[in-house]
Structure 1
Amino acid sequence: MRHNFKFKNLFGTAYKCGSIIFTDNGFGLLSPVGNQITVFDLKRDGVASLDISSFHDVRHLALSPLLPMLVAVNDVGDASLCSLSTGAVISVYPFKGVIFAVSFSPDGKFLAVGKGHNILLFYAPSQNRQFNHLKLYRIFYGFTDDIICIDWSSDSGFIIAGSVDSTSRLFSVYNIPKIFVCTLAGHKNPIMGAFILRNLVNILTVSSGFICSWEAKVPLDQLRSIDDLTPTSLFRISNRYRYADSADVQVTSPVSAVAFHKDLRLLATGFESGLLLLHTFPDFIIVSEVNMLTNSINSLAINKNGDWIGAASELFGQIAVWEWRSQSYYMRADSHSKVMTSLAYSPDGLHLATGGYDNKVKVWRVSNGRSIVTFTEHTAGVTGVAFPAQNSKVVVSASLDGTVRAYDLIRYRNFRTFTVPTRRVQFFSLAVDTRGSLVAAGGLDTFEAYVWSVKTGQLLTVLTGHTAPISALAFNPDISGIDIELTTVSWDSTLRLWDVTGNSTDENNLSSMELTKEVVNFSCDALCVAYRGDGKQLAISLLNWNIVFYDPNEGVEMGTIDGHRDLGISQTSADDLVTPRRAAEAKKFQTVAYSVDGEHLIAGGDSKYVCLYSVPDKLLMKQFEVTCNLSLGGVQELHDRRNYLSRFSIEALPDRDAFAATTTEGVLIYCLPSAGTGYGIGSTFGVSSCSDSGWLFDTLGIDEETTPSNARDALIQGRQAEALDMAIRLQLHELVEEIIESIPVDQIDFLAHQLPINHVTHYLIAFLARQLSGRSRHVELYIRWTHSILRSHSLNLRRIAANSALSESANSKDSRNLMDKESLDDRKELSTPGFLTFHGEWAACQASLVRLQASLNHVKSHLIKHCEAVDNSWNYFESLSKLYQKRANNAANQNIVQDNHS
């Protein structure tokens, strides 16, 4: 098992807080989720996570119109400059204060930041090299309260900002005599949005219930040529609109979010009731009226061409894209509205199932991160989900509502419901046997385990004996024998082994103590249990930080891991009345999972760390940090001793500011299912998918260490993957040929599976086609490589082909309908390689595949000719043999006749 796991994707949470924003090409939607950013690819129906590793929740996003660069600002005012080409964080700029609005100028030269009552104007990063990525240009003053929104004029010469003090102020970026700031006061509530129209004459200001349209005396770009103009005579209110007068429904809730499209003059307004209103200006005609979300709309965004409107809600983590022309949803993503409690990988690793206290079971597609189905049959919190080890099309869930349900992932329906006929039981744990024929669940209130038949849906037996809730169950994965072994652990500090093979007790008395094979007592409560892949070892996590290994066949303990010091030291929340060191004594492992080979164990619990242990040595090998988000409790390890008693700190004062309050949401890892080359982390802030696929190969390009001599040295030292990686990046055919022909045959499948997809599409397919076209005599070796590479990367190649077809169809549609300059720019941005688009050139890869197919057909025809020649030779020699045999027989017969005559 390899140990260099890296974060891959985040499931379960589509949106948490902050502002959402569309990419410049209009096909990507960026959503802040905690200290990470989720990228929805609306064209290819995919989801990716941009891991910027911010130390607090991301609140504000801004995209540069000049460079593929993103600015993400968190709760405490740290701005992360991220490259969308590589997904890497370029630098972090601390604003040293809470930021309320961020916006780039249309020309990409300036970045406006709303900090408190002021606007900080920075020179934006450019393509030229510079020591400071953000350099302060000037500061605008004048507000008496916090700034809410910022907007730019189309010529990047003016800034307008709205504030909580119910005023909007217009600032000039460059010095204009007598015009430095102009105040627009016409509202009684905080300004939710202020916008400068494209004509540089009209300005819109939006507050709760009202919209004011301001008209300038002269266009803003002509102010420099006017000498007798005073700020008091620059603007006047031309119109005042009320939302209640235009909507067909009664609008009683306040405005919560506003967005404006300047080209279409389309105003989108979101309300706390989830209502979305679209108006056109200057007529203020309502275009669309829809209850877009079930709760308050906290953020709105409109894409570049104005077709899609994105809305997000914090309460349930909902995000949706509305196509207002067709009056339909283009995309809708729902998060678990409450804490997720369980997750499970499908046996083929293609799907991930999650359950939560919101009574929902969600199934996610691992490849693109999208939810494919949500089951809502449960009426109480879901406490467990599981897949049968030999069936990827069935998922089973247990709930506190007293039911265990089995779902069909082909027809997306609940095809079986398991219950206890005599009473209502709150199920707390779940297990499914390897064949998928039996389902077992443990009770929270009855202290009993129940076993059902999946085929009939009948309750087979009730396992009694525990005196506390059953915390976990597991079936023995070894199916070589005839016995079906079930293991249960409980808060009564015991482990019980049951033999449930073919036992169906009396219908009037389902309970049976005769099924118990063995009872093991521990010193404290048992929290979870996991079988090794061969079924010959158990790992049990206890309340005292220990992990105990047990042999179920011999009935002996095989060792113990003390994880006291591996969970870390931190307070769970600021409200704890104990020190971090004392709080660490109450931590424990909530879940454990074996690796595929059984040599390693992954454990997680009340900590931000996932621990990887060596099972034979009982030693900690590595710690993986799940999150560095200090907005969550239990993450910060260094604390101010003066805040140990939080009731006396400033955060506990009744009149504290909103930004001074600390969250009570903590980090809790509740499930760690293994998925071959990776594992999933189920925690309170989302489901993280970690994978080591491709970790052996560096895909960033050539550096000073990438040389032919270093590649040959790595090959001599046995580091075949590193040597092959260097050779492919150098693209030296002779070097690649030398290394590939030196790799042992038994390593081909492993290395082919680990190859990054860009190595395959950019170079290897063309190289294999070249070698098989007659350049090499090792035909069998290269056919083996071709078979392994195509088998390992077939799904990725098909996905790339589908995405390329979608891009071509969209570009052809754009070329037919949009032939102006802006549409050409959109197409150029769409085709630009970056974080949101595929980096390779599919046309070249497709041509290489055609050449590879031709080479294989050429090899096939040569083999057929050789086989035919061998067959003809064989027939010839066989006929000669028959002829010689016939002549020998004739000669023998003649000799016999002559002997008889004589």
Structure 2
Amino acid sequence: MQCAAFLQFSNLLGTVYHRGNLTFTPDGNSVISPVGNRITIFDLKNNKSETLPVESQLNITTLALAPDGNLLIAVNEDGEAMLISLISRSVLHHYHFHRPVHAVSFSPDGRKFAVTKEKNVLVFHAPGKTREYNPFVLERTFYGAYDDTVSIDWTSDSSVFCVGGKDMNTRIFGAKHYSNLIVYSLGGHTDSIVNAFFERDSLDLYSVSRNGQLCIWESDTDLAGLIPYEDKENRVSSDEEDEEEAEEKQVTDQKDKETTEGKVLYKRLAKHTYKDARGEGAPPTHLMSAAYHKGLHILVSGFQDGAFYLHEMPDFNLIHSLSISDQSISTVSFNASGDWVAIGCSERGQLLVWEWQSESYVLKQQGHFNNMSCLAYSPDGQYVATGSDDSKVKVWNTLSGFCFVTFSEHTAGVTGVTFNQNGQVVISASLDGTVRAFDLSRYRNFRTFTSPRPVQFSCLAVDPSGEVVCAGAMDTFEVFVWSMQTGRLLEILAGHEGPVSSLAFSTSRAMLASGSWDKTVKLWDVFESKGARETLSLMSDVMAVAFRPDGNEVAVATLNTQISFWDVDSATQTASVEGRHDLGYTRKDTDKITAKKSSYGKSFSTLCYSADGENILAGGRSKNVCVYSIRDQILIKKFEITCNLSLDGTQEFLDRRKMTEWGSLALVDEGDGEDGGRSISLPGVKKGDYSSRHWKPEVRVSSVRFSPTGREWAATTTEGLLVYSLDHNLVFDPFDFAMDVTPQNVRSSLERKEYSVAMMMAFRLNEHKLIQEIVEMIPVSDIDFVTDSLPDVYVVKMLSFVAGQLESSRHVEFYLQWCRHLLVRHGPRLKQTSLSLLSMLRSLQKNLSRKYTELSKICDHNKYMLQYLLSLAKIKVKQPRDSDDNESEEAMESCDASDSEDDLAAILNESDSASS
């Protein structure tokens, strides 16, 4: 295993959207989504997702992206804002508004941004637009609303912005001081404003309210007609006669002119409702979100029942409607070109990108509805399967971060999931009393294993050959063994006196380890004899068991927060680790005991060995994941998976402002109000509340697994599936370093055509870009010679480098030549140390299989297209031969057809050879 200090947070899977607004990047190819207290960027063009390495203290509710796409403002539930650079992927500044913020919007010119805070609107200078060191420089505060302000929209020239509020009014403010526009309020609605939009290059306005009313407002002044305050003073006449005539007018006429003359006036042109679009018999529902594209004049609206509509403005003509789910649509957003609409549903954790012109999905992702309970890596490390309490099994691509298949055949929570030996089958166990096998080629449930009498399966294991499936029961204390080929129940292993909590198969021998709450671990010889081969007695209930990769050692996690290591052959304990202090002391909001006392109820519930078997990864009912060195019996590194205070169990000490002499205020149930109503969990609920009550979920780690490639590990947590991986670009780790090993000497050796020397010096520096530069400058004809002259130490490093380059480089054939020569020349020596190189070889296999899959699809498509063209060339159109000219023309056509057939046949043969 690589040094644990180099493992850094890489990506967040399993959750695609939590709450808040969605925003597109300026090029329109990526959508930015708030996921809990993190931010994920979905690259729709390259089909990848990336989670920014920044974290807020609470869930993020509002996002605003600068027009240049370099700066992002994220505001959480408590009003704390982060200024994030999308170039360096880092936080530049923190600012606290001390109140919840509903909307943040940059002006189109990027020089200002506006923030809605309670009844006020704050306008700031954009970061970098002033010479002050503080990025958040307040320019002006606008007042006048009677209730919270919820939306902001700017005119095209950034001179005026409108604000919609819960007081059913839309107010228009000038970003600068204008004499004919100070504050203008538009009413006409009977419910709170959802959003308001300006027309392009105009002051005309659309406003939509929560009860589905749309008002169209027309202004008598265009943007060029706005008069700055200074110009009005300059226009005052200095002629005394004009002043005398003005004083002679009546007082009433003077007042009317002061209030109307020269001022911006609005009138309502039309008022529409969504009743026609929804139909006559449709039940009433609330409009939750709306977005308007000023270039295409299209309005999209999302409703509480999951329906959204596209209308052409200003005539309010319905383009089309669609219902995506039965849950509320929290936010909608257009990209720059207006072709794609991003839709987010917070209650389902669903994120959609809809192309309305072709009526097709560009992106359709949904996370698990409830907490994830288990995960498993495929043998090549390319896929991750997750099971959840929502009875679904999802398979994720670790490279793109997207879920590509969901299996929903289970009817209760999934408790275990694993892959077979070749990675083409996913097996899952559930509390519904079934173990199901899913085919990843046809995406179907092809095998279902059941017990003679109904039981609840709590754990799952598959032997290394993939022929035997075992599942432990929670209520009958038995282990059931099935045949994968026939689906028959082979044996029932009895002997435990408590629920079976964990199962694990040895990779080197036919041995099954089962841990139970009866404080024992039993070792079974599944194929040869009946009954337990060995019984390991422990001091507390067993929570998890795991075999070392070589199969000679088993690790056991118990309820007293200890991890003990046992030798399989002698059934003796070789080492132990005490982890109570490493799990950390945390206290829930509703706990009536201290954090130190509550730590006695915590333990490790999941274990996983590293690829080399020297370290072990442990997680449980805590926000910490610990990596231990087995040989030294010490903690190497502790990963804190989250600092999100929106989750329960992340703090050691509670806020004293919420503590009274009778206990914490969190113990008071305040109902299910929309604005901050608190609900405590029902008695006995630990994993999730299926009722309508909303409460803070407790942070915990349900499963941890190392990738077979050894480059990353993943954990299923309350926040989602967290992936930690190695980042080459941030680590300088020289090998066999010397004073004469410099980049200049490396390049000079390359110029002298000393390729072996240059490559070994580059590996000693261990800089990825330098190694890539040197390797790609070596001619293909010299690869064989350089491979022969490489020492064994550099052969392993070169193979690891080639494995990484096959994932991202376009020079596929070049690196395949390197791979072939290295394996042919040094294969026998590599085979002798294959166990220590297992992670590197699996990484190489993963990237080779992925490239093969991608290229084979292209070759197959070209092959079938050429076959189609070849069949068309064989069809000869027979025309009547009226004259010799027609005969000569037909002869020429037949010659051309035969020539084209020969050419296409030759191309087709080349395509077949290329695909092979």
**TM-score, length of structure 1 as denominator length:** 0.79
State yes or no: 1:793 paired with 2:824: no
Counterparts in 2 of 1:297 and 1:404: CA distance versus 1, 3 Å: same
Aligned equivalents of 2:434, 2:516: Cα separation in 1: 20
| 2:394–2:405 CA contact under 8 A, matched in 1 | yes
Q: CA deviation at 1:734?
A: 5.3
Counterparts in 2 of 1:531 and 1:352: CA distance versus 1, 3 Å: same
The residue that corresponds to 1:847 in the other structure is none
| 2:120–2:141 CA contact under 8 A, matched in 1 | yes
Aligned equivalents of 1:258, 1:71: Cα separation in 2: 21
State yes or no: 1:569 paired with 2:585: yes
The residue that corresponds to 2:596 in the other structure is 581
State yes or no: 1:530 paired with 2:542: no
Q: CA deviation at 1:293?
A: 3.0
Q: CA deviation at 1:145?
A: 1.3
The residue that corresponds to 2:842 in the other structure is none
Q: CA deviation at 1:798?
A: 4.7
Aligned equivalents of 2:174, 2:762: Cα separation in 1: 66
Q: Mind listing any 5+ residue stretches in structure 1 that lack a counterpart?
A: 504-513, 699-710, 802-902
| 2:155–2:200 CA contact under 8 A, matched in 1 | yes
Matched letter for residue 406 of structure 1: A
Q: Mind listing any 5+ residue stretches in structure 2 that lack a counterpart?
A: 233-256, 680-694, 814-916
The residue that corresponds to 2:714 in the other structure is 680
User: Matched residues, percent identical?
Assistant: 37
State yes or no: 1:418 paired with 2:449: yes
State yes or no: 1:475 paired with 2:505: yes
Q: CA deviation at 1:666?
A: 1.5
Q: CA deviation at 1:87?
A: 1.8
Q: CA offsets per residue over residues 790-823 of structure 1, 9 Å max, x none?
A: 343112225999xxxxxxxxxxxxxxxxxxxxxx
Q: Match for 2:631 among 616, 624, 648?
A: 616
Matched letter for residue 473 of structure 1: L
Q: Match for 2:344 among 309, 312, 315?
A: 312
| 2:215–2:270 CA contact under 8 A, matched in 1 | yes
| 2:461–2:470 CA contact under 8 A, matched in 1 | yes
Aligned equivalents of 1:800, 1:272: Cα separation in 2: 50
The residue that corresponds to 1:691 in the other structure is 725
Aligned equivalents of 1:13, 1:791: Cα separation in 2: 29
Q: CA offsets per residue over residues 79-126 of structure 1, 9 Å max, x none?
A: 212222232222222222211110000000001111111111110023
Q: CA offsets per residue over residues 813-861 of structure 1, 9 Å max, x none?
A: xxxxxxxxxxxxxxxxxxxxxxxxxxxxxxxxxxxxxxxxxxxxxxxxx
State yes or no: 1:349 paired with 2:345: no
Q: CA deviation at 1:16?
A: 0.8
Q: CA deviation at 1:781?
A: 4.1
Q: Match for 2:778 among 743, 764, 768?
A: 768
Q: Match for 1:165 among 147, 164, 167?
A: 167
Aligned equivalents of 2:706, 2:788: Cα separation in 1: 38
Matched letter for residue 472 of structure 2: G
Q: CA deviation at 1:456?
A: 1.2
Q: CA offsets per residue over residues 601-633 of structure 1, 9 Å max, x none?
A: 111111111111110111111111111111111
| 1:280–1:287 CA contact under 8 A, matched in 2 | yes
Q: Match for 1:387 among 402, 410, 419?
A: 419
Equivalent residues in 2 for 1:809-888, closer than 5 Å: none
Q: Secondary structure at the match of 2:404?
A: strand
Aligned equivalents of 2:161, 2:802: Cα separation in 1: 55
Q: CA deviation at 1:6?
A: 0.4
Aligned equivalents of 1:778, 1:447: Cα separation in 2: 57
Counterparts in 2 of 1:181 and 1:734: CA distance versus 1, 3 Å: farther
| 2:762–2:770 CA contact under 8 A, matched in 1 | no
The residue that corresponds to 1:888 in the other structure is none
Q: CA deviation at 1:177?
A: 2.1
Aligned equivalents of 1:81, 1:658: Cα separation in 2: 26
Q: CA offsets per residue over residues 290-318 of structure 1, 9 Å max, x none?
A: 00233110010011111111101011101
Task: Quote the RMSD (CA, aligned, Å).
Answer: 3.2
The residue that corresponds to 1:38 in the other structure is 40
Q: CA deviation at 1:644?
A: 5.7
The residue that corresponds to 1:462 in the other structure is 492
Matched letter for residue 218 of structure 1: T
Counterparts in 2 of 1:415 and 1:800: CA distance versus 1, 3 Å: same
Q: CA deviation at 1:439?
A: 0.7
Aligned equivalents of 1:646, 1:427: Cα separation in 2: 45
Aligned equivalents of 1:731, 1:262: Cα separation in 2: 56
Q: Secondary structure at the match of 2:805?
A: helix
Name which of structure 1's ranges 582-591 and 148-157 shifts more when overlaid on structure 2. 582-591
Name which of structure 1's ranges 451-460 and 175-184 shifts more when overlaid on structure 2. 175-184
| 2:180–2:264 CA contact under 8 A, matched in 1 | no
Q: Secondary structure at the match of 1:582?
A: helix
Aligned equivalents of 2:392, 2:809: Cα separation in 1: 34
| 2:746–2:758 CA contact under 8 A, matched in 1 | no
The residue that corresponds to 2:266 in the other structure is 235
Q: CA deviation at 1:642?
A: 5.9
Equivalent residues in 2 for 1:13-32, closer than 5 Å: 13-32=15-34
Q: CA deviation at 1:767?
A: 3.8
Counterparts in 2 of 1:578 and 1:170: CA distance versus 1, 3 Å: same
| 2:494–2:531 CA contact under 8 A, matched in 1 | no
Matched letter for residue 491 of structure 2: T
Equivalent residues in 2 for 1:9-158, closer than 5 Å: 9-126=11-128, 130-158=132-160
Q: Secondary structure at the match of 1:673?
A: strand
Aligned equivalents of 1:640, 1:257: Cα separation in 2: 35
Aligned equivalents of 1:743, 1:319: Cα separation in 2: 49
Aligned equivalents of 1:275, 1:31: Cα separation in 2: 21
The residue that corresponds to 2:227 in the other structure is 224
Equivalent residues in 2 for 1:637-716, closer than 5 Å: 637-641=652-656, 643=658, 648-651=663-666, 652=668, 654=670, 658-659=675-676, 661=678, 663-675=695-707, 676-694=710-728, 697=731
Q: CA deviation at 1:427?
A: 0.7
Aligned equivalents of 1:737, 1:613: Cα separation in 2: 48
Matched letter for residue 473 of structure 2: G
Counterparts in 2 of 1:182 and 1:462: CA distance versus 1, 3 Å: same
| 1:66–1:107 CA contact under 8 A, matched in 2 | no
| 2:125–2:137 CA contact under 8 A, matched in 1 | yes
Matched letter for residue 501 of structure 1: F
Aligned equivalents of 1:67, 1:384: Cα separation in 2: 42
Matched letter for residue 200 of structure 1: S
The residue that corresponds to 1:331 in the other structure is 363
| 2:750–2:758 CA contact under 8 A, matched in 1 | no
State yes or no: 1:541 paired with 2:557: yes
The residue that corresponds to 1:445 in the other structure is 475
Q: Secondary structure at the match of 2:268?
A: strand
User: How many residues in Structure 1 have an aligned counterpart in Structure 2?
Assistant: 759
Aligned equivalents of 2:661, 2:184: Cα separation in 1: 45
Q: CA deviation at 1:78?
A: 1.7
| 1:57–1:75 CA contact under 8 A, matched in 2 | yes
Q: CA offsets per residue over residues 143-174 of structure 1, 9 Å max, x none?
A: 12111111101110011011111111110000
